[in-house]
Each structure stands twice: as C-alpha cells, then as structure tokens.
Structure 1
C-alpha cells in the first residue's frame, strides 16, 4: 500500500509537468494563427522547451543534489504553475517561448528523482512495472491533458489551455504535499561514483537507440493536430477526440510495454519499432479517410506510448543499479529527441508537405533498427 501511494504521487506530478510540455501539441495551429507565424515556427513551443531540458538535465540534477527531494519536486511543480500563468498574459510569440523555457530547467530534476524513487520502490525483477506506473502519469496526460487543452483552446482560446495546465500542476503540488513521504537525500559518495558511468560505451549505444526511437515518435506526433486538420479534414472538436482516443489506448500500451520489457526486453524493443513503422505507413496510406484514420489513430496510440518505457528501460539497463544521474541522462536524451524530432518534422512539412511528415519518423526508425543490428553483432556482451 505504501509503495503504491508513493508511485501514484510520483505519477500525479508527471501528469502535471507532461501536460505543460505536450499540451501545446494540439494548439500549435491556434498559436500559429494568433501570432501570425508558420506551423514549423510554432513548433518552437515544443522544441525550445525540450532543448532546455536536454542540455540542462544532468547539470541541474547534480547542482541540486544536496536539497531535500520532496521539497525539490514540489518547488519544481510550483515553477510550472507560475510559468503557465505568465503564459496566459504573454502577447508576443517569443516572450511566450521564453516563459515556457523557465520551467524546462526543473523538468529533468523532477523526472530523474521520480524515476530513481520508482526503481528503488520495486522488488527484484519488477522494476519495469514500477517505472511504467510512473510513466502512466505521462500517458494519462496524453489521454486527458493534451486533448483537454486542445478542446479548451477551441472553445475559449489558447490562453485557456495554459490556465488548465496551471490548475493541473497546482493539483500535482497538492498531491505531492499530502501523499509523498519524506525522501532521503543521496549521499555525496554515491553521487561522485555515478560520474563513472559516463565512461561506459554500452550506455552511449543505448542512448543512441533511445534517442532515435523518441525522435521518430515526435517528428510526426508533434504535428498530429496539423495532420488531422489538413489531411483528414477534421475540425477542432474531432481533433480533440482523436487525441483523447490516442492517449486512452496509450494507457494500455504503457502497461504492455512495462510487462514485456520485464520479460523479453530485446524482442519487445524490436517488435515496438516494427509496429511503429507499420502504423506510420497506415497513417500515410489511409490518413485521408475519416473512419479509417479513427481506427488507425487508436492503434497508433496503443503502440506509441510504450516508447518511453522501452527507451528508459533500455538506457537504465546499461548499468547495474539505479541513480538520479542516469535517469537525468534519459530525461535529457528524451527531450533532445523531442527537440530534434519536432524540428525534423517541421522541416519535412516545410519541404514536402504535412502528408509526407510520416516519412521523417520511418527514416529514424529504420536507423534505429540498423543500430540495434550493429549492437547485437559487435557488442555481444551488452545487456538490453
């Protein structure tokens, strides 16, 4: 019971920060229209946030390592509340981008602590289940936060979506405050020893695999609202429902990924990549047919969301034991991938049109399969 309470509290916080980070996905067309910028420029709302996380993560985690863990997580979420409130009154696009970049510095701090605590709460052999439970906060944010932000924006304007994110983060603060027990600070000796993992070649190969997976996921998903509007001819309400379907299916997909990564990590990783390639091809071929894209979107959500759990477990399995540093590397890896994926998708749209954005994801996934093949062939001692 105590373990579940801790994991739920952590997941609630993840729900809050994920809604802030990815809630803009469904409102990028609205922001582009309001500020009179192109859709790929509007993508900076996602990519600028992610790039701050990517490059500040390990440094922020090490810098703040001596502070109380519970208080640090709560403070991080408070920064998210304030940022969302300031976003509401931002009248210039690049001011809005800057305001969103501030909480990005604290995003990896929360994530790395939460994932490390989750791993420590697990008994031998069920780490994947505990980690997937924390990631359920991300999935539920995809189910509720992102489509709700899109729907609210469609009804009341984009400012209302940021008010919603502020409220969600405030609820997350209260959840941690009341339900999270005190957390011991890691010892300095352990922190110094952690730095040695950066010399491990296996870690960096798995880093590349995780990076390619998440880049592929977001080069198309970041522009999902634009694709559904332009290619599938859906209106704002339909797009909100599609994002809801996408995320709802992701809840089950997240559980499946955690289950099978615990039993068959190598097979689960390869199968995930093959299935994600397949569903992207279906989106490309049948994206213009309303009812077919509804069904395909559900399948897409089922597969897509498991990528985070698969990426995290592949990366953390590179080294025995767990640490906040390696989880901060995952957070940096994931957000760097979101940044590159968003930029790649925007470039692909600008060059070839929104319908062809699918191919940017497929190229990255094929590169990932090639990397896995080379890893198995030349680094046989690697554990995945």
Structure 2
C-alpha cells in the first residue's frame, strides 16, 4: 500500500499507545524504589492500565458515538497525553496509578474507532491492509519504542520516559488533526444501535474467537524471559535480542495478515492459528537450543500477529451497521486474551509441569481457537470488507 498520510497518523497514535502500555513492565523496580512501594504494588500500575482499557472501551465509545471521527480521535490522544503527563509529574503512588487509569481510557476507543476509520479510507478490497497499517504502529513499538523508553527510564529516571511518551501523544494529536479528513460519525450511530449490534450472536462469537485465539500468544510470551533463561540458558542480552526478533516477527505478521485478510478473513485466521499451533509445539522442543529458539521465536511472532487484522475485520464485518462499539470491545477481547493466556501459563508453571508444558498449553489454546473458527463457519462466510 502506498504511503497514506491518514493511516500514518493513525499508526503514530498506535505507536504511542503501544509504548505506554508495555514500557512500565520494564521499569517496575525503578518505580518501586522511587515511590517506596513493593514490586507487587508497583505491578498494580500495569493492572490499572488494563482496568482502564476494559472500562474505557465501552464507556468512551458509547459516550462519543455521535462525535465526528477526527475530533474524537484527536480528543482520545489528548486524554492519552494528559494521562502520561500525570504519570511524568507523579510524586506519589496514587497519582501514578491515577495517571495510568486516565491514559488507558483512550486505548480501546482509539483502536476500535481507528480501525473503522482506517477501513473507510480505502477501497473495500484493501480494508484489512488499512487496518493492519494502523496496527503496525503497535507492532513497531515493541521493536524500538519500548526498548528506547526503558533505556530512557534507566538513564534519566522513569518520569523522563513518561515525558517522552507524552510528547509522542502531542505529535499524534497534530498528525491526526492535519492528516485525517473531516469524518462524520456512522449514519444512525447512537447508544442503543451500538448496544443492539453488540448483543448479536455472531458479534459475540467473533469477540470470543479473538479472546481465545489471542490467549495462545500470551500463555508463552508472559513467561518468555524465564523460559529462555532456564531452558535455553540465555544471558540478559540474548533475551533482549529475542524480544527484538519477536517484535520484528510481529511487524511482518501484521503486514502479512492484512494482505491475506483482504482475500479471506477466516482463511487468514485459520492459517495463522494453525501456524501458531505448529510453532508452539515445536518450541516445546526448540527452546532448549539457542538457534532453534531464535528461529521459532521469529516464526511465532509472524503467526501471532498475522491474526490481528483479520480478527478485527471479522468483528467489524459482523457489526457492519454500527461497528464502533463492537470494534472497541474487540480490543478489550485482545486484552482479555492477554489475561487468560497469562493465567493459563502461570497455572501450568505452578502445577510443576515445566516450561515446555507452557508452550504446549499455548498450542492447546491455538487449537481451541482453530476449532472455534472452523465451527463458526466456512472461510467464505465472512467477507473481507466491512461496512
């Protein structure tokens, strides 16, 4: 797809959200020491963000259903910028948690509305690729933005990282205001029509597929550092290198999934889940060698994010006449998959089954997602375009 300024502006916003979501995980010891709280208490900064996403996705989307889309997206990035400024200025644990809650309120609505806007900016046969272009900002954040923010936190203090993220928010606001055309809200968009569409069986089934399918990735990714250190014998630099490789795989997978989903949404989901199933089964063996682990981690990243755009498109297609709330709730389903996957992986470890079993548990969830999408319908049942 040729360079598209509106899609680039949406990707800048997605990049900022990706950086602010994942950066605190690498700064918890710094935050805990500075604010004189325990590591588990500092971890609630991450939980506060997740809670804000779950709360914000439906409430913000419904409250702004009739706002022009450009004004809404700029406003959402203003909330993002405000929350990160609160974190940068935080002189107490309570203020930091409050800042993270505010920051997260934009997350689900931005990605949900942004996906609908992105799909509407291009011809029907290129809509999945357009959605993937927006999500590319999130994938790229895992390669460069998050490591850079973590380095900034280590060198200049954790507040400096949040100042930098707030600056990204300001740039995104300007980019969205200048690049996006004036876009009215969807015809007939209101609270009741959005809720009515969200309650449809096919929409709920599509949301369930996102949650189950994406939980496979986080079953393993949540514990990738101890897996590599224990099973591969990896050093800290090797773990960092593997995370960068995984981020590169995510970026390639996001691009590939967008291209393939414009041909077949369900076909792409089936292929991505099947690939992830195979890779995670192989990783249970391959994690014991550095070369095999590196190769499989790249392929795992590709398979994991190849499903993002088609999963988003599937929900939007099922909720075509009022897609904003369903699209935002699908972002919540991705985050719920994160929580479910982490819980499954943790339970596997607590049961004493070993780290290879964690990879097999992830494979089992990929299989569950594969069975679900096959049960829900034929590959041709969901059109590539929505709206």
Would the TM-score normalized by the shorter structure come out above 0.5? yes
After TM superposition, give the deviation of residue 339 of structure 1 in Å.
Answer: 3.0
After TM superposition, give the deviation of residue 368 of structure 1 in Å.
Answer: 1.5
2:267 maps to 1:262: no
Moved more, 246-255 or 66-75: 66-75
What secondary structure sits across from 1:125 in the alignment? Answer: helix
Structure 1 residues 156, 299: CA separation in 2 closer, same or farther (over 3 Å shift)?
farther
Q: How does 1:149-298 map to 2 (within 5 A)?
A: 149-153=149-153, 158-188=158-188, 192-298=192-298
2:369 maps to 1:362: no
1:113 maps to what in 2?
113
Distance 1:219 1:230 in 2: 17
2:72 maps to 1:72: yes
Structure 1 residues 349, 128: CA separation in 2 closer, same or farther (over 3 Å shift)?
same
Structure 1 residues 213, 93: CA separation in 2 closer, same or farther (over 3 Å shift)?
farther
After TM superposition, give the deviation of residue 42 of structure 1 in Å.
Answer: 6.6
Moved more, 113-122 or 181-190: 181-190
Tell whether the 8 Å contact from 1:46 to 1:342 is kept in structure 2 after alignment.
no
TM-score (norm 2): 0.84
Structure 1 residues 219, 148: CA separation in 2 closer, same or farther (over 3 Å shift)?
farther
Moved more, 123-132 or 241-250: 241-250
After TM superposition, give the deviation of residue 276 of structure 1 in Å.
Answer: 0.9
1:327 maps to what in 2?
327
Structure 1 residues 350, 80: CA separation in 2 closer, same or farther (over 3 Å shift)?
farther
Distance 2:105 2:277 in 1: 32
Could you give the per-residue CA deviations for residues 237-257 of structure 1, whole angstroms, max 9, x where no partner exists? 433332222222322211211
Structure 1 residues 163, 115: CA separation in 2 closer, same or farther (over 3 Å shift)?
same
Structure 1 residues 233, 27: CA separation in 2 closer, same or farther (over 3 Å shift)?
farther
Tell whether the 8 Å contact from 1:80 to 1:166 is kept in structure 2 after alignment.
yes
Distance 2:331 2:168 in 1: 21
2:382 maps to what in 1?
383
After TM superposition, give the deviation of residue 202 of structure 1 in Å.
Answer: 1.5
Moved more, 23-32 or 165-174: 23-32
Distance 2:16 2:84 in 1: 11
Distance 1:2 1:252 in 2: 17
What secondary structure sits across from 1:263 in the alignment? Answer: coil
Distance 1:274 1:227 in 2: 23
Task: Choose which of 32, 37, 40 in structure 1 pairs with 2:39.
Answer: 37
Could you give the per-residue CA deviations for residues 331-359 of structure 1, whole angstroms, max 9, x where no partner exists? 22222222333344444444448724334
Q: CA RMSD in A?
A: 3.3
Distance 1:47 1:147 in 2: 21
Could you give the per-residue CA deviations for residues 43-101 of structure 1, whole angstroms, max 9, x where no partner exists? 65444423432343122211122334333322322332333344356577676444322
Structure 1 residues 49, 346: CA separation in 2 closer, same or farther (over 3 Å shift)?
farther
2:54 maps to what in 1?
54
After TM superposition, give the deviation of residue 153 of structure 1 in Å.
Answer: 4.7
After TM superposition, give the deviation of residue 15 of structure 1 in Å.
Answer: 1.0
2:336 maps to what in 1?
336
Structure 1 residues 231, 30: CA separation in 2 closer, same or farther (over 3 Å shift)?
farther
- Structure number with higher relative contact order (C-alpha < 8 Å, ≥ 6 residues apart): 1
TM-score (norm 1): 0.84
What secondary structure sits across from 2:181 in the alignment? Answer: coil
Tell whether the 8 Å contact from 1:57 to 1:109 is kept in structure 2 after alignment.
yes
After TM superposition, give the deviation of residue 12 of structure 1 in Å.
Answer: 1.0
Moved more, 45-54 or 101-110: 45-54
Could you give the per-residue CA deviations for residues 303-347 of structure 1, whole angstroms, max 9, x where no partner exists? 222231131122222244563122122122222222333344444
2:127 maps to what in 1?
127
Tell whether the 8 Å contact from 1:51 to 1:336 is kept in structure 2 after alignment.
no
Structure 1 residues 287, 138: CA separation in 2 closer, same or farther (over 3 Å shift)?
same
Tell whether the 8 Å contact from 2:219 to 2:361 is kept in structure 1 after alignment.
yes
2:137 maps to 1:137: yes
Could you give the per-residue CA deviations for residues 88-147 of structure 1, whole angstroms, max 9, x where no partner exists? 565776764443222212212212221111111121222111111111111111222233
